[in-house]
Structure formats: C-alpha cells, structure tokens
Structure 1
C-alpha cells in the first residue's frame, strides 16, 4: 500500500510551517535587491529571517545596467543597509554597475573578512579609491575589476595589500586598430601578485614581453584567458611554454561564445572616460534615511503588510524603510 501523502489532495502547503533553515535557503536564492524590496515584507517570519546576519555573508547587488532600477531605488544606500545587516561577516559582494569610491570605502571599513569583490563597470571607482580600499582587505582572494577606469596604480596597491589574492579579472574591450602596445598592467601584476592561480585579461594591450613577465612573476597560474589580446602571438617557445605550464589557456583568437560581456571589437574607436561617463551620471532618489520612494501614481495597496498574523495598510505612507 502506498504511504499517505504528506498533504492530502486539496490541502494547501503553509509556507510558514517550513523549517527555518529551509525557508532561509529559499530566500538566499534571491538577490539582495529582491530581499530588501520584496521578500522581507511578506510576513514577520520572513522578515525575521532576512535580518539574520548569516543571510548577508554574500551580497549580490548587480543590476546589469538596468537604469529603471537605479531610478526607483537608491542602490548605494540599499547596499550600505545590506552591509550593516551582515554584522561584519560579509565575505562576498557584487556592486556591479553602480559602485563608487564612497560605497567601496563604506564596505571595506565594515567588512575586514571580505574574500570576493566584484566591481564590473564601476566607472566611479578611481585608482585612489581602490588603492585605499585594498589596504583594508588582507583576506581578499578574488577580485573582478573589469571595464573600470583603473590603471597599474591600483593593481600595484592590490598586489601589495592583498597577499592572498588568487583570482583576478581585469578585462576590457578588444582593439586590433589602432595598434597600441602597453605592458604596464602585465608588469604590475607580475611584480605584485605571485599567488595568482586564475587570471583573465580579455582585451588587454599586453605584448609577448608582458606575458613573459606574468609567467615569470606568477608561477602558480593554472588558468589564463588572453582572448582579444591581439598584441600577443602564442607561437614558438612562448606558445610551448604556455601550453606546458598552464592547464586552461584561452588564446587571443579563441571563441568568445561563453564570455559574459560584449565581445565586439572596437577598432578605430577610443573607449575613453568621456564615453564611459554616460553610464555613471545617474541621479538617484535619496532622502537621508530612505532608499525607496513610491511614485505619485503608485497604488499603495500593493504594499499591504503582514505582521503578527494580521495585514495592515500602508496607503498613508509615502515612503518607507525597514531597519
């Protein structure tokens, strides 16, 4: 005889009866933005779970360049709120597309245990900002600073201050023309990051000399991505050396089908800070202690809350935040 089902047909599963750790596991599938703006408002139990510091050891605030989200929310203030909730236990954070020097300073001053940091397309983070932040990240192991306005200065600072760094992504847009050769980034990496295991330099302007320096200064590298590094020629002794010493090698002309960003080759065009500024000059709604503001035509009834077993109406509240 088949055992009786846990819930007879027609019965509804009560989400509030799930074990706390199961509920927490489900909520962790959401990003920080979804938790702060939606999930924690469902009921008092979920809100209580969402305030647990263990929920904030990893904070994913990526918005993929969605400017509509930027307009609706002050992402910087929301991120600060998430960092506060971690209680100093933050180990992994992604502030892709909206990071600034000020936000990076706030994060690093509160999160000495940080091991993974992703700053992709953060044009408002400067060499000075990253250099100062690196001094507070002695445990950092993984860093992604792709498509930022950064130079060898911050690479050197990261290398000096983060001796445990094992993975670096420092990607850019690839160019064949005009042909510009520059080994500054490669030399900074070679001279300061001996513990690297994984290095991605998509679209870098390094030459064979720069690559030789990296191979010599970072002898533990296991994976190296040189796609769209068109000044590198992996032939002869250099090609053999790379093939013999590196387990996972991506050559300049290898397929980019699995690369997560734009792979267009920007020939004859200079992608400078002026063109990048259009991605950073965004005005956010911010009102001191608030990171969310209802628009004038919003239906407040959509934000009714459940607390202590009862629903209550927030229709009289124009803006709100939960501590």
Structure 2
C-alpha cells in the first residue's frame, strides 16, 4: 500500500528554491551543544576519535566533554588486521575522557583481560557491559573485573569463552544484574547436553528480568532450575537451544511465567549475529572409532580453534599522540 512521505513531492508549505538559496550554507558551529552531542553519539566512539572531532573546533570541544563518554560504543567491523588504529589504545583514551562517569561500554572483537581490568578500575559505576567475540578475555579476567563492578545491571558475553564457574562469580559480584545475554552458535549436531551455564545462572542471578541464551546446550533440568530460581524473569530467548522441547508441563511453565518467550525454533530475523545452524554429520567411514576431531575438543577449544581469532600482537600499535587533546588547534 502506497503511503505519503516527505519526499513524495513539493507541498504548498515548502520553501521556494529562492528562499533556500538565500539562506546560504549552514554553519554547524551554530548548533546547540546538546544537538551536536546527539549527532556525534550516533557515530560511535571510533568515528568520533578518528574523524568527527577533527571537523572543527566546535565539534572538538563538544567531543571532549565528559558527558559525551558516559556511554562508549566501540563497534567496529571485526576485521582488526586491516584497521589503521589500535582499538585498545583508543578505548582507553575514551574511558579516560569520561573522568570516572562511564556507565555503559560496548567492546567488540578486541577485548583483553588487561583492557577489561583498566575499565573496571576507572569505572566503578559501570552499569552496562557488552563483550562480543572477545577471545582474549579469560574466566579469571572477567571475574576479577566484575568484582569491582557491583552496580552492573546489564551484561552481554556473546561468542566468548566463559565457564559456569565464572558466571556464578559474576552473579555473586553483581547482585543488581537484571539482563544477561550469553549467546553462541546453535548446534543441532553433535548433540551435547550441558547445564553448567543454566545452573550457574539459577544459583546466583535471582534478579534477572531478561535472559538470552541463544544456541545454549542446556536441557530441561537447567531450564527448570532457571524458572524456579529467577522469580522476576519476564523475557527469555531460547532460540536454537535444540536440547529443549517446550511441550507438556515445561511448555506450560514457560508460557505462564514468561511474558516474552522465544522458543528454540522461532525465527531469527531480528538476531544480531549470524544465526546459521551448525549441523555436523560424520560417517563411520570418516571416523571408524565413532569420534571426530570435533568430538574430542571441549566447547571452549572448539570455539577458539574455528573462530579465526588471531593473537592480538598481530594487530600492531597506534600512536597515542594522535588522540592527544592538543592535536587539534
């Protein structure tokens, strides 16, 4: 059905071309600071530090305001080897600009234990932390960081290696945690059942409202534990959790308790990552003893072995002076 849009044609209220020509070029420095800040926020931290703050003195001034860095979004393409900039140095500079006022940060692909420790040391009021494909963040690094973040309410640890013990420590260190996203590739085969994550969540995160376990290998036992121990849970995403069959009493429990329930086979159109299902079928001829190389690897070993992750030392360093506050005069 056709609908009218602002671009469907001229209207009687539209200014004439002659009026537009008389206005001349717009001076971006005349924008109110809050509007300029809104524009810059939409770009993300990487674009602000490498491009936007160099546009003019006004944008440079706004970009240095600590309020601009309460939320730091370090989104990037993930192709670290082709980048000209060291994202870890850039992130540390952005955190420094917040002057301790950081409440939310998104790290993708380049997070390390040392970077996470630096963020935790200088951002004790952090409420939202997003870690995606951070293969160099270990259980120990995550646990040490969250011990300094008692106000954390929203945590995503997707496509990272994290154990049930580490999750349990997260829950105990962050009693206000309301949202947890723990996503991984969905495996239809090989069929492996593991309730470590689910039991850790049930034992340590009673205040959860939102839980996303895309691709998790939990069973009915783990799901029952979560339903029993997280009384405030309202949103539960179990897409591609192929060990679950939400029928009978379990299906009824989920339907009655959860307001927004995503079932194992629900559509994945709105999922933020690649939702391709991993379905590995091996023949007896290929593996005469009944085990493939994949079967012999643990979950964590498999994820790293086939993730394409490279050692961070491969990425080189970037000159910190580029981000010095005296660079733009």
TM-score w.r.t. the length of structure 1 is 0.85
1:211 aligns with 2:223: yes
1:60 aligns with 2:60: no
How far off is 1:27 after superposition? 1.5
Unmatched runs of 5 consecutive residues or more in structure 1 = 292-318
The match for 1:34 among 36, 47, 54 is 47
1:306 alignment counterpart: none
**Contact kept? 2:81, 2:315, Cα under 8 Å:** no
1:22 aligns with 2:41: no
Aligned-partner Cα distance in 1 for 2:23–2:224: 68
The match for 1:279 among 309, 315, 322 is 309
Cα RMSD, aligned residues only: 2.0
Q: Give the count of matched residue pairs.
A: 291
Aligned runs of 1:83-98 on 2, under 5 Å?
83-98=95-110
1:312 alignment counterpart: none
Which structure is higher in RCO with an 8 Å CA cutoff and minimum separation 6?
1
The match for 1:124 among 136, 158, 161 is 136
Aligned runs of 1:210-289 on 2, under 5 Å?
210-268=222-280, 271-276=302-307, 278-282=308-312, 283-286=314-317
Aligned-partner Cα distance in 2 for 1:72–1:147: 25
More moved, 210-219 vs 278-287: 278-287
Aligned-partner Cα distance in 2 for 1:119–1:77: 17
1:321 alignment counterpart: 323
**Contact kept? 2:93, 2:323, Cα under 8 Å:** no
**Contact kept? 1:7, 1:13, Cα under 8 Å:** no
| Runs of 4+ in structure 1 over 4 Å off | 4-8
How far off is 1:49 after superposition? 1.0
The Cα offsets for residues 69-112 of structure 1, whole Å up to 9 and x where unpaired, read as 5x311000000000000000001100111101010001010001
How far off is 1:273 after superposition? 2.2
How far off is 1:320 after superposition? 3.1
1:162 alignment counterpart: 174
Q: Secondary structure at the match of 2:251?
A: helix
